[in-house]
Each structure stands twice: as structure tokens, then as C-alpha cells.
Amino acid sequence: MHPILGQFRRMVLYLAAWIPLAALLARMMATTHAIGLREALALAFPLCFVYAFVCLSAWYPCRVTPLEHTTLSKFLATHGGGAIVATALWILAGRFLAMELAQLPSFPGLDRGYTAEIPILVGTGILFYLLSVAFYYILLGIEASRDAEARVLQASMLAREAELRALKAQVNPHFLFNSLNSISALTGSDPSKAREMCILLGDFLRRTLGLGERSAIPLGEELSLIHAFLAVEKIRYGSRLRMEESVDPQALQMSVLPLLLQPLVENAVAHGIANLVDGGCIRLDVSLRDGVLSIVVENTFDPEAPLRRRNGVGLANVRQRLEARYGNRAKFGAASDVTSFRVALEFPAEQEASVS
Amino acid sequence: MSPEAHRKLRAAIVDDEDLARQVLREYLAPHADIEIVAQCANGFEAVKAVAELKPDLVFLDIQMPKLDGFEVLELLDPAPAIIFVTAHDNHAIRAFEVHAVDYLLKPVGADRFEAALARVRERLEGRGELRSSPPPSAADLAAAARPPSQYLDRIPVREGTSVVIIPAAKLDYVEAQDDYVALVSQGKKHLKQQTISSLETALDPSRFLRIHRSYIVNLERVVRLEPYAKDSYVAVLADRVQLPVSRAGYSRLRAFLDR
């Protein structure tokens, strides 16, 4: 969008700003004594009016050659060229105007006098054009800094929101209710197993406590949280729940957002394993290469199972948290083939000390 | 006392978790008048067991492999007394809309369980007197209880004791046949006890259109409209099947085809 064109108030102000410029130009033209002040004014005002519109067009080359991404030679060529073309057109327009005015009885010989004014017109034409270029670059700069401010604000809002959601999503209440129901079943049939499940559940809950306040935890800690979670689910689902894991031991020290992976594993159980009559397998792969941590959570699922919405929300939450924390240095992908669903994350590997 | 009152109550337990079934078994054990006739770990098994064994009472989990509890209920005809047993409290309203006797939340307490059984006994004893008008079919109730923003993406149909699932995208058209609808998918007809109007409300209106008192068509299958007699048309489907189009259906269909 052109900052002046198309906005009536700005346009009026802009044209008003040209009035003193036109007066100044007339005064300069009169100093040559080739024409008088009256003739100079008659030339300068229409010429400046025309040139005001010519200079509006300087916006477009400014927008396509942003200062920070342009070489000096390209910058000079663009705007130098623009200035020369604009000035040449202006001089021609002036010549035409002078010849027309010379026809009138009140301006005899103006066309001859005009030739003497050409050097002044060339100088001011180029100067006015370049001033417009500078003016537009200032506008662009203000706009860019406003955009950047808005972006920073938005990113921090997203991060805060993601944190809040992470806090809220810490423990899925249905996981708790189902686990308590399993414990209630075991108290009758197998009290020692019931006690074991109480202890596992307590272990998991304790690990999740306080995680929301920390901005990063070592991957090893997140993995033991996942193990505690799966140990509880394993009692519920029995042989239906199988787990495979391959983790690069070097990755264990790297820091991750707390509870980043646990929702993915919980999804894998709730939307994969829970819908399969004979159960299935959850695969967790963690690798570290060239300072990038890659994590894949994969699970088998029943393609005919009815869709449940929560899944999408959980994934979107993980993606937003990654984005808020790492920006475009993080990658997030979710894909499914016939019987398996796969979420892949990639983000910079950082030691804990450098984050929290 | 009628001889029926002495008959044992036959119950089925449907839950995919062994431990969850175990709790219910334990709670039922002291009740000598209740016999557990089936224990099922998924929706398909449940439909089969209920069709074969006709229990009086079914304890039904909601989130299960293959078919969820509501889809199971849709296929039970006549529907036995249902007690939903689930960890999710957000389905309760829907459960009562499909005339479930009770809705138990996991972990289930013994008192609450006894209260549910009492309600079942009440319901089953009162049943004989309430039979004056035929009850709406389970599928109609389920369709009425569906959240309005959510349309069916698949339709479970019972064939004898097994279950066929028809994805909505593969449904060509629906034909009303008395109390049933015939769902036609890939040249095969599947009968389901449901009224065509309740099925119409459950299907996505941007993909399915009622073109006639007795027909709903999948719009993607319609190839063209042909005049049939004065003021009447037939819709020709991709596999050359011709369906009658009523006058109201014609204007609705035109509006769609013109878009």
C-alpha cells in the first residue's frame, strides 16, 4: 500500500508541503535574470504540482530495494536511474509548459528564457527526487520497526499461552480416573499389584509437579517421566501395550521443554493402542546429529477407528510451544501411513546450563 | 408374582480393559439373581454377543476399539438396559438421551453401583406396561443425541451378528424401506433400523441431499438430472442407477448443481 496515495488527508498535506518548495524554486529561477519572478512563479507552481506526483512513484522502487538486502551498486543504479528519468521527464514537461505560456501575450519569450533555467531545474529535480527516496526509506524503517515490535509481542504472547496450556495439560484427568479404577480392581484380586500401581502413579505425579515452572529440563528427566507414565498404562493395558526405544545416550543431557514428549506418548496410547483389539507398539527414537536433536514418536493405530478431536489439539500445542521457543529453527511433522502414526520433532540441541 | 420375576437377570460386561471388567464382576458377584453371560473387550464382540445371547443388561464402556459405546448401542435391537461405565463425564447428557439407565464414572464406587442396579430392576419390571407404543429405535435416539456440529463420518450396520462399517464417503444413496433404511455402498445394500429423517439430520448436508421422501443421495455420485415425466425428474448416478427426484428435491438439487 502506498503510504500517501489513496489517503485523502495525507495527500492534501503532502501537496501543501510542496507549496513552499514551489515558491523556493521560483525564487531560485528568478535569480538567473533570464526570466522575471512573475514568469518564474507561473512556471514553478504547475511544474511542482506535476513533480509532486512524479515523486510519489519513488515509493515503488524503494519498496522493492530494501536497504538491508541491497548492494550499494544496485541501490545507486536504481535510485540514480529513477532520479534521472524523473528529472528528464520534468524538464520536458517544463519545456512544453514554457512554449505554451509563450503563446500568451503576458509571457513573451518565455520559451527562450526557459533554456537558461534548465541547470537549476536539473539540480532541483534530482534533489527533490532523492529527498522523496530518503523520506520513503524513513517511512519503511518506521513500519519495519513497528512490525518487529508486533512480532516480538506476538511471540511472547504465544509462548506465555503455550506455557499456560502446558500447565493445564499436565495430567490428563481421564488417565487418573482410569488408573484409579484399575487400582480399585486390583485391591480385590491382587493387593500387592495394587500397591505397586499406587507407587508408580505417585512416582509419575511427583515428577510432573513443578515442571510447569521450569523452562527446560534435561531430556533424560522427560524420558523417565514417560517411563513412569507408561509403567502405569502398562498395568491397565497389559500385553496390549508394547514399547520400543532407541535413544542416543549423548542426547540425555540436552535440554527440552518440559512435558513436550509426554503428551505425544499419551496420544499414542489413547489414540493408537487403546483403539486396537490386540494392542500395538509405541516407538521412541532420539538421535543427536550436528547439534540438532531429532525425536520421533511412532505408534500403530486402527485406520478405521473413529477420529477423536483431542489428538489435534495436543499436537498443535506441542508445535506451538516448539515454535515459540525455537522459532524457525524447530521442525514439526505429523504423518500417518496405513497403520502407523508418526510425529517427528527437530530442534537445536542445547545444554541445560545455556537455557533455564 | 409372574414367573418372569424369578428369572435370573442376564448381564453382559463390555470394556476393553481387563481390570475394568474385573471390578464389575466383583461388584456383581454377591447378586445371585444376576448372571454374567458375556464379557467383551471391543465393540464388535459386544454387538455379536448381545445379538446372540440377548442379555437384559449391558455394562458399556464408551471408548473402545472398533466401535465406541454409542455406536454399539445403535446396533442393539431391541436395546437391552444399558449402564454406561466410563472415565469421561462429558458424555452423560448424550447417554441419557439414548435412554441409558445409568451412567457410572470410573472409578466406580460400590454404593453407586448398587443404585444403578436398583434403577435397572425398576426399569425392567416396568417394561411390560410401557410397551403400548413401539419405542424409537436405538439408531434414531443416537442420531437425535448427536452433537449438532458433528456429522457422521461412518455408519455402523449390523448384519446378523457381525458389524459392517460404511464410511460416509463410500455411501452412494439411502432408500427408505418402512421402518428401515437401505444404505447402498459400492453396489451393496445394507439394512439398518432407522428412519430416513433421523439419518438425514446425522449426515453432512453439504455432501448428502434428501431428493425424495424416500431417498437421500451422495451429491458426489450424481452425474446428471434427466426429465422423467411431466414435472418429474430422475437423478442418474455414476453407476447408472436412477433415483426419483421429487419437486422439492429437484429445486434443492438444482441449487446445488448450479453452484
- The pLDDT, as a whole number, for residue B24 is 95
Mean pLDDT for the stretch of residues A64-74: 84
CB contact under 8 A, A189 and B26: yes
Residue B11 banded pLDDT, cuts 50, 70, 90: very high
Dihedral angle sign, alpha carbons of residues A94, A95, A100, A103: positive
Query: Which grid cell sits at A241?
Result: 501395550
- The whole-angstrom separation of Cα A349 and Cα A334 is 21
Any A CB within 8 A of B16 CB: yes
State the smallest CA–CA distance between residue B167 and chain A in angstroms.
9
User: Helix (H, G, I), strand (E, B), or coil: what is residue B111?
Assistant: helix
Residue B74 banded pLDDT, cuts 50, 70, 90: confident
What is the b/e burial string over A233-262, where b = at least 16 CB atoms within 10 angstroms of the residue's CB?
bbbbbeebbebeeebeeebbebbbbbbbbb
Residue A353 banded pLDDT, cuts 50, 70, 90: low
CB contact under 8 A, B41 and A178: no
Q: Choose the weakest-confidence range: A146-160, A300-314, A316-330, B208-222.
A: A300-314
B184: β partners:
B173, B189
For residue B89, give the chain A residue with the closest CA: A174
State the smallest CA–CA distance between residue B139 and chain A in angstroms.
17
- The pLDDT, as a whole number, for residue B1 is 45
Task: Report pLDDT digits (tens) over B107-125.
Answer: 999 999 999 999 999 888 8
State the smallest CA–CA distance between residue B92 and chain A in angstroms.
15
CB contact under 8 A, A305 and B66: yes
State the smallest CA–CA distance between residue B8 and chain A in angstroms.
25
- Write the single-letter amino acid at A132: S
Any A CB within 8 A of B41 CB: yes
Mean pLDDT for the stretch of residues B94-118: 91
* Best CATH choice for the domain B151-257 from the list 3.40.50.970, 1.10.150.120, 2.40.50.1020, 3.30.70.360: 2.40.50.1020
The CATH class of B3-141 is alpha beta
Task: Report pLDDT digits (tens) over B163-206.
Answer: 888 999 899 999 998 888 999 999 899 999 888 998 998 899 88
Please report which helix (H) or strand (E) contains residue A340, including its range.
Answer: strand A340-348
pLDDT: is A62 or A167 the higher one?
A62
Residue B14 banded pLDDT, cuts 50, 70, 90: very high
Domain boundaries, chain B: 3-141, 151-257
Backbone dihedral angles phi then psi of residue A319, each to the nearest 5 degrees: -65, -45
Task: Report pLDDT digits (tens) over A266-289.
Answer: 989 988 998 898 899 999 999 999
- The whole-angstrom separation of Cα A19 and Cα A48 is 8
**Contacting residues of A for B87, CB less than 8 Å apart:** 174, 177-178, 181
Q: Is the pLDDT of residue A168 over 60?
A: no
Residues 6+ apart with CB under 8 A from B40: B12, B13, B14, B15, B46, B49
- The whole-angstrom separation of Cα A342 and Cα A272 is 11
Mean pLDDT for the stretch of residues A304-310: 61
Backbone dihedral angles phi then psi of residue B206, each to the nearest 5 degrees: -85, -10
Substitution target from A171, A178, A299 for chain B, most B beta carbons within 10 A: A178
Mean pLDDT for the stretch of residues A296-311: 76
- The pLDDT, as a whole number, for residue B145 is 65
Neighbours of B81 (CB within 10 A): 23
Q: Is the pLDDT of residue B235 over 80?
A: yes
User: Helix (H, G, I), strand (E, B), or coil: what is residue A285?
Assistant: strand
Nearest-by-Cβ selection for A275 from B19, B65, B71: B65
Cis, bond preceding B78 (omega within 30 deg of 0):
yes
Query: Which grid cell sits at B71?
Result: 455406536
Please give the full DSSP string across A21-82, using - where no structure is assigned: HHHHHHHHHHTTSSS-HHHHHHHHHHHHHHHHHHHHTTHHHHHHS-GGG--HHHHHHHHHHH
Q: Kindly state the DSSP code that residue B106 receives in the 8-state scheme.
A: S
- The pLDDT, as a whole number, for residue B146 is 64
Substitution target from B14, B19, B61 for chain A, most A beta carbons within 10 A: B19
- The whole-angstrom separation of Cα B42 and Cα A323 is 39
Residue A10's nearest CA partner among A1, A218, B70 is A1
- The whole-angstrom separation of Cα B196 and Cα B181 is 6
- The pLDDT, as a whole number, for residue B130 is 45
Average per-residue pLDDT for chain B: 86
| Residue % of chain A over a pLDDT of 70 | 93
Q: Kindly state the DSSP code that residue B187 receives in the 8-state scheme.
A: T
Residue A354 banded pLDDT, cuts 50, 70, 90: very low
- The pLDDT, as a whole number, for residue B6 is 60
Query: How far is the first Cα of chain B from the last one, in angstroms, to the nearest whole number?
Result: 66
| Residue % of chain A over a pLDDT of 90 | 34
Mean pLDDT for the stretch of residues A333-342: 89
- The pLDDT, as a whole number, for residue A101 is 85
Task: Report pLDDT digits (tens) over A221-267.
Answer: 999 999 999 999 999 999 999 999 999 999 999 999 888 898 899 98
Mean pLDDT for the stretch of residues A119-134: 90
State the smallest CA–CA distance between residue A277 and chain B in angstroms.
6
- The pLDDT, as a whole number, for residue B16 is 92
**Contacting residues of A for B65, CB less than 8 Å apart:** 274-277, 302, 305
Burial tier of B238 (Cβ tally within 10 Å: 0-12, 13-18, 19+):
exposed
State the smallest CA–CA distance between residue B22 and chain A in angstroms.
6
**Contacting residues of A for B26, CB less than 8 Å apart:** 185, 188-189
- The whole-angstrom separation of Cα B250 and Cα A291 is 64
CB contact under 8 A, A185 and B26: yes
Residue B151 banded pLDDT, cuts 50, 70, 90: confident
Neighbours of A320 (CB within 10 A): 17
Residue A133's nearest CA partner among A84, A63, A46 is A63
Residue A170 banded pLDDT, cuts 50, 70, 90: low
Nearest-by-Cβ selection for A277 from B19, B41, B68: B41
Tracing cell 437421500 back to the chain, one arrives at: B216
- Interhelix angle B18-28/B110-130, rounded to 10 degrees, is 70
- The pLDDT, as a whole number, for residue A307 is 59
- The whole-angstrom separation of Cα B71 and Cα B44 is 10
- The pLDDT, as a whole number, for residue B35 is 95
Residue B129 banded pLDDT, cuts 50, 70, 90: very low
Residue B131 banded pLDDT, cuts 50, 70, 90: very low
- The pLDDT, as a whole number, for residue B148 is 56
Q: Is the pTM of this model over 0.80?
A: no
- The whole-angstrom separation of Cα A199 and Cα A165 is 27
- The pLDDT, as a whole number, for residue A164 is 64
ipTM of this complex: 0.73
Q: Is the pLDDT of residue A355 over 50?
A: no
CB contact under 8 A, A174 and B41: no
Burial tier of A219 (Cβ tally within 10 Å: 0-12, 13-18, 19+):
buried
State the smallest CA–CA distance between residue A299 and chain B in angstroms.
15
CB contact under 8 A, A177 and B17: no
**Residue A238 Rama label (left phi>0; alpha psi -120 to 50; beta):** left
Please report which helix (H) or strand (E) contains residue B59, including its range.
Answer: strand B57-60
Residue B66 banded pLDDT, cuts 50, 70, 90: confident
**Contacting residues of B for A180, CB less than 8 Å apart:** 106-107
Counted across chains A and B, CB pairs separated by less than 8 A come out at: 66
